[in-house]
Amino acid sequence: MVEIGTWVFEGLWIAGILAFAISGALVGVRHNLDLLGVLVVGLATGIGGGVIRDMILGVHPPVSFTHWPYWTTALVGSLAVFFFHPRLSKIRTFEIVFDALGLGIFSAYGAAIASQSGVGFITAVFVGTVVSIGGGLIRDVLVNDVPGVLTRELYAVSAILGATVATVITQFTGHLLIAATVGGVLAIALRLTSYARGWHLPKPRRSN
């Protein structure tokens, strides 16, 4: 049973890496980058959050650099986007959907694992949030965009929601899979809904 659970969580993490890598590569395509540029942006988006997490937790070298399935998944996903993107009629829509999937998986799963490791509530939420927005932050910087976490709908709020719910469920029940699933679904739903409806946090009024 423990081994099955390990495989499930490993699959969740790889799914998140793939989703983020695809979203990053799509951004590279949208910015008309060459093959190397698309791969760099896709890889950075896919494994960037995990690298930041490991740096915060003092894990050296970061697991994403030493565990080949992680960076290989990001590489393959980026290559697939580069060669098959002409078949995607609405690149921006796919970019948002895959980014939301990665955001939800990483925020909830990252927070649940951090909570199970024994860290405090706030720390677990912080780790889950940083893991989920780190890759997108690196992606936007690489293509010279203002990071979406600072401007784009309820991006960070969605990550915080997923991480918070996952942490609460983990601390009260100890069920990581339920925590990751419920937190992830809520984060994905809020992110996609906020994009579709144009929800934003309040912004300062501009003086004339």
Whether residue 205 lies inside any domain: the answer is: no
pLDDT of residue 147: 82
Question: What whole-number distance in Å separates Cα of residue 25 and Cα of residue 4?
Answer: 31
How much is the pLDDT for 4? 47
Local confidence pLDDT in tens for the 208 residues of the chain = 444 456 777 888 898 899 999 999 999 998 999 999 999 999 999 999 888 888 877 778 888 888 899 999 999 999 999 998 766 556 778 888 989 999 999 999 889 988 988 889 999 999 999 989 998 899 999 999 888 777 777 889 999 999 999 999 999 998 888 999 999 999 999 999 999 998 888 877 765 5
**Inside any domain, residue 157:** yes
Query: What pLDDT score does 145 carry?
Result: 87
Helices 2-30, 91-116: inter-axial angle, 10-degree rounding = 150
Report yes or no on 121 lying in a domain: yes
The three-class DSSP label of residue 136 is helix
Range of the domain at 37: 2-197
In a domain, residue 38? The reply is yes
Evaluate whether residue 69 is within a structural domain.
yes
The domain tally of the chain equals 1
Residue 122 lies in a domain: yes
Q: How far apart are CA 33 and CA 29, in angstroms?
A: 6
Q: Is 207 part of a structural domain of the chain?
A: no
In a domain, residue 84? The reply is yes
